[in-house]
Chain A
Amino acid sequence: MARKNNKKEIEKLRRENEEYRKLIEEMSEGFAYLEEDLTFSFSNPACDSAFGVTEGKLMGRKLKDFLSPESFKEVKKSIRTKEKKKKSVFEIEVNAEDGERRYLLTRSNPRFDEKGEFVGSFVFFYNITKRVKLEEELIFERSLLNSLLNTIPDHIYFKDEKSRFIKVSKSLAEWFNVKSVDGLMGKTDFDFFTEEHARPAFEDEQEIMKTGNPIEGKVEKETHPDGRITWVSTTKVPRYGKKGNVIGILGISRDVTEKKLWEEEREKKLEAQREELMELSTPVIDVWEGVLTVPILGSLDSERASRISESLLTQIVEEKAAVAIIDISGISAVDSAVADRLIRTAKAVRLVGAEAILTGVGVEIAQTIADLGIDMGSLKTMATLKDGLRYVISRKNIKKEED
């Protein structure tokens, strides 16, 4: 009877044993027993594949062979602990035999003899390669982003839907004279600029978020509370959340203050040069006492015509000139518009109290004027400047004789 029972008992134990074995073999986690010198004396298939060896071939191999020397030193310390019942959890980086590099989260359950000496350990390995790789990627990308934010001189800023800073470049903190980028978190343009810039910038951002239309290379005038004025070229784009909804904006602004000032300077110089050129192109010459002459060369557009009128009339009044001779022998072409302008100038001359004489009206120009059907009216015209001067001088002499 006892014998029979014993047999049954053995059969039961055998079956249980078999089930445990199956459980361990089919486990997705790696499981192994490491001897005192960290040699594998047992391993399940998941463990074998994690270390990249053929099933069953991990037995007898040393853990040392799969780790870098430095990491093995650390791991040895963690596994061969002297503290009883101390489970330790750590990550190891395995140079697997199939050439792969795997990250295994390792849990060691040390075993001790009666004297409390370490004799070996049951170890679980969880393959966390994917997670670690993802983390590494994230860290790498983060470092890229950080290097961008820490080194690029352009101001880069991420804002939330209420235009509050959530991440900014170091350059922007420096721009605001704030020691650290953390000093900007949750703040807005209104904290660092005066209303004059902060308001339109805020409105731009709200518009971008509403419409999704970015702003590209907009030149903005920044007004600081200390009275400083700077110029930036700004590009702002909407930021989207996971569901495709707008959650804020991303902007980049480049300091163009120097360029702007240079441009303004250049514009001023250009304007001055243009004015100078205009003056040069419309010289009013004081040829005789009370006689002014304007030789008109080249083409006569409306701007030039009004400038000539302006400077001639001013000078007539200043010098109390009695006669103004407008010489058009150097003019390139006469059409009705030009003739009209000349006539207007001459009439204005008369209105201020002087006499206008148009000289240099050659045959061709006279014909053109006649063909165009323009009546020169009471305007005195002469063929050449010489004729004009002769007329003026003789009249002066007559006047003198009269006196």
Chain B
Amino acid sequence: MARLTRMHLGDILVVPIQEELHDTAAEEAGEKIIREADNSNIKGVAIDISALDIVDSFLGRLLQKIAWGLRAMGKEVILVGIQPEVAVALVELGLYLEEINTAFELDSALEKLREMIKKGST
């Protein structure tokens, strides 16, 4: 299985997804993210998918599931770098991911995420 890079930036977990993930690999990656977020004092998770040109309905739904899971655990989530083609494809699939925040790039994502964490804690 492909290695999944994870970075801790303070209380934020950053997960850049570098390649297309299919089926079990994707599910395993999802599980890893959730476990990683649970095992530490992580307050927010940024999932960077800027490297992906294609997101199929399976991966789209999985991202949604991960977000819901993290939310249920009280963590903030942000999706980073959704490419225009990917955005169009997701919308066509009816996956609006409305409850998940988005950002162009990691910088603004971290900024937004910190804001969200601050708001959540107050």
Chain A interfacial positions (CB closer than 8 Å to B): 306, 309-310, 313-314, 316-317, 320, 344-345, 347-354, 377-378
Contact = CB atoms under 8 A, between A and B. Distances in A.
Given A320-B108, A351-B97, A353-B81, 7 more contacts: A310-B88, A317-B104, A349-B87, A351-B79, A351-B86, A351-B90, A351-B91
Contact of A352 (B87, B96, B98): B87
B98 A310 contact: no
A349 B81 CA distance: 12
Shortest 7 CB-CB contacts between residues of A and residues of B: A313-B84, A351-B87, A348-B87, A353-B104, A353-B102, A353-B103, A348-B91
B90 A352 contact: no
B105 interface: yes
A320 B106 CA distance: 12
Contacts of B104: 316-317, 320, 352-354
Contacts of B87: 313, 348-349, 351-352
24 contacts: A306-B88, A309-B84, A309-B88, A310-B88, A316-B84, A344-B91, A345-B91, A347-B91, A347-B98, A348-B87, A350-B102, A351-B79, A351-B86, A351-B102, A352-B102, A352-B104, A353-B80, A353-B81, A353-B102, A353-B103, A353-B104, A353-B105, A353-B109, A354-B104
Contacts of B80: 353
Nearest to B96: A347
B97 to A, nearest CB: 6
A313 B81 CA distance: 12
B91 to A, nearest CB: 5
A348 B102 contact: no
A310 B86 CA distance: 11
B105 A313 contact: no
B82 interface: yes
Contacts, number: 59
Interface of B: 79-84, 86-88, 90-92, 96-98, 102-105, 108-109
A352 B84 contact: yes
A310 B84 contact: yes
Contacts of A345: 91
Contact of B84 (A314, A320, A344, A350): A314
A138 B105 CA distance: 87
B49 to A, nearest CB: 10
A184 to B, nearest CB: 55
A55 B45 CA distance: 128
A317 B86 CA distance: 12
Given A348-B90, A351-B91, A353-B103, A317 B98 contact: no
Contacts of B97: 351
A378 B97 CA distance: 12
A146 to B, nearest CB: 65
Contact of A378 (B91, B98, B108): B98
Nearest to A309: B88
A55 B91 CA distance: 108
Nearest to B98: A378
A350 B91 CA distance: 10
B88 A348 contact: yes
Given A310-B84, A313-B87, A353-B82, A320 B102 contact: no
Of B80, B104, B109, most buried by chain A (CB within 10 Å of CB) is B104
Nearest to A377: B98
Contact of A348 (B84, B103, B108): B84
Nearest to B92: A344
